[in-house]
Amino acid sequence: MFDQIQSPSLFSSSRPVTPLRDFVATHREGLLYAAELLGGHRGIGLALEIFGELSSARPLSRRTRIQVIALIELLSLERVHELGSEECSRFAAIDPCDPVVEEICLLTDGLRDSFDLALVHNRQWPAT
């Protein structure tokens, strides 16, 4: 399903946030599914907010950067050790052998890579 995930090239973009916008647009459904699977309604809400922000032509805002980091943390299981949390119970319900685990890992890596590229671009390009 996600075997076509590619890291965007550093030189493929003329706009600072394009690698992140392109990745999110291309993998919208997978990101939504993963966010729901690991974070429930909060995960879906977080993903939808990011999608909305990135669909505009505005530069990457501080708020959006924080939200993307939160989504990366959700997808990379940063808080599953917190007993009693929704993330912990949702993660416990997933079979580690389920192919969705690898797909989520690929999505997380792609999201992280495209976010890192967007940050690099933002440092190199003047604010618009």
Structural domain boundaries of the chain?
18-123
pTM of this prediction exceeds 0.85: no
Q: Along the 128 residues of the chain, how does pLDDT read in single tens digits?
A: 444 544 444 333 345 568 899 999 999 999 999 999 999 999 999 999 999 999 887 888 899 999 999 999 999 988 877 777 778 888 888 898 999 999 999 999 999 999 999 888 666 444 43
In the 3-class helix/strand/coil scheme, how is the chain assigned residue by residue?
Answer: CCCCCCCCCCCCCCCCCHHHHHHHHHCHHHHHHHHHHHHHHHHHHHHHHHHHHHCCCCCCCHHHHHHHHHHHHHHCCCCCCCCCCHHHHHHHCCCCCCHHHHHHHHHHHHHHHHHHHHHHHHHHCCCC
